[in-house]
Amino acid sequence: MSIGSLASLIDENLVGVVTAKFTEIVAASFKKGDTRTQDEVRRRFQIMMKWFKIMRGDLKWTLVRIFDSLPDALKVELNGGDYTPDMRKVWIPSDGSV
């Protein structure tokens, strides 16, 4: 998924916000002592882009819900599992605002 594809799923004013959040999630996904190669960072971004496309494009989730779910999706895939999105109709953000 290219940046152009990402932009087609969100308002162009939010591309920077989404990119910054991706960067934050990828950085947090590295455990202390992990080697951060360009290939590994790229692989993690690609996993997140894949799930962003599914969550935003197919499931029509809000950005907040996506940002809460992406770390779990990334962790499951990095551990060799198959992530399954939470399909509850009612969802409460984990940002502490509720």
Prediction pTM value: 0.82
Residues 32 and 65: their CA atoms lie apart, in Å, by: 27
What residues does each domain of the chain span? Answer: 3-78
Return mean pLDDT, the chain: 85
Nearest to 68 by CA among 44, 46, 45, 51: 51
Q: How confident is the model at residue 1 (pLDDT cuts 50, 70, 90)?
A: very low
Q: How confident is the model at residue 50 (pLDDT cuts 50, 70, 90)?
A: very high
Q: Read off the DSSP letter of residue 82.
A: -
The pLDDT, as a whole number, for residue 8 is 79
Q: How confident is the model at residue 2 (pLDDT cuts 50, 70, 90)?
A: very low
